[in-house]
């Protein structure tokens, strides 16, 4: 996606340079809104002077104008990106989640581990056990838990007072 944005910006600049050849400073070429929208207000005076120098040098040479073919490829790349994002969303692919450990409690009664059991944490997260780990006779109220990342995208849930841990996956 960054590559597409870079191509779009380069094409826009290439197309814009000849149109502004009569003016020397970028500040004179753009409206205040365009200047802010491009993020140019963040540049220091030295950076702005360097940009103006580069643009002036570029206008003295024959600057290429984006051809219809380039514009068509840019539009096609943009559309393909939209389609890929829509397909990923339809397939339930979520953006990468944090791999930070979680410390919370299980509000209410805790009755041990069991495959397929869901554990709702006080922070609202819901984790489902995916292995056969068990803790014989484990019981507790408002028990503290830690969920930590493991290898190969695995997550492990451990409750306070027990060394056993269960492999879990996040449901919500």
At residue 20, the pLDDT reads 47
pLDDT digits (tens, 9 = 90+) for 27-78: 888 888 888 888 888 888 888 888 888 888 765 555 455 667 778 888 888 8
More confident residue, 160 or 13: 160
- The answer to whether the CB of 170 falls within 8 A of the CB of 136 is no
Average pLDDT over residues 156-160: 94
- C-alpha separations of 95 from 8, 18, 85, 87 in Å: 24, 40, 11, 13
Other C-beta atoms within 10 Å of 145: how many?
Answer: 20
pTM: 0.45
C-alpha 40/C-alpha 26 separation (Å) is 9
pLDDT digits (tens, 9 = 90+) for 107-154: 999 989 999 999 999 999 999 999 999 887 788 899 999 999 998 889
Strand duo 126-129 + 165-170: pairing: antiparallel
C-alpha 112/C-alpha 148 separation (Å) is 18
pLDDT digits (tens, 9 = 90+) for 76-104: 888 887 787 777 666 655 555 678 899 99
C-alpha 3/C-alpha 6 separation (Å) is 5
């Amino acid at each position: 996606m960054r590559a597409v944005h870079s191509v779009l910006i380069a094409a826009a600049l290439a197309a814009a340079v000849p149109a502004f050849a009569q003016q020397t400073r970028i500040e004179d070429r753009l409206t205040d809104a365009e200047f802010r929208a491009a993020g140019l207000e963040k540049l220091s005076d030295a950076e702005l002077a360097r940009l103006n120098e580069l643009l002036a040098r570029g206008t003295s040479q024959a600057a290429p104008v984006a051809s219809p073919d380039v514009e068509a490829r840019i539009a096609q790349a943009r559309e393909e990106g939209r389609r890929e994002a829509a397909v990923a969303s339809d397939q339930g692919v979520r953006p990468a989640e944090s791999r930070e450990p979680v410390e919370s409690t299980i509000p209410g009664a805790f009755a041990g581990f069991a495959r397929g059991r869901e554990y709702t944490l006080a922070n609202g997260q819901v984790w489902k056990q995916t292995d056969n780990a068990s803790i014989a006779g484990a019981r507790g109220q408002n028990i503290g838990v830690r969920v930590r990342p493991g290898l190969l995208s695995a997550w492990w849930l451990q409750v306070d007072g027990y060394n056993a841990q269960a492999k879990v996956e996040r449901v919500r």
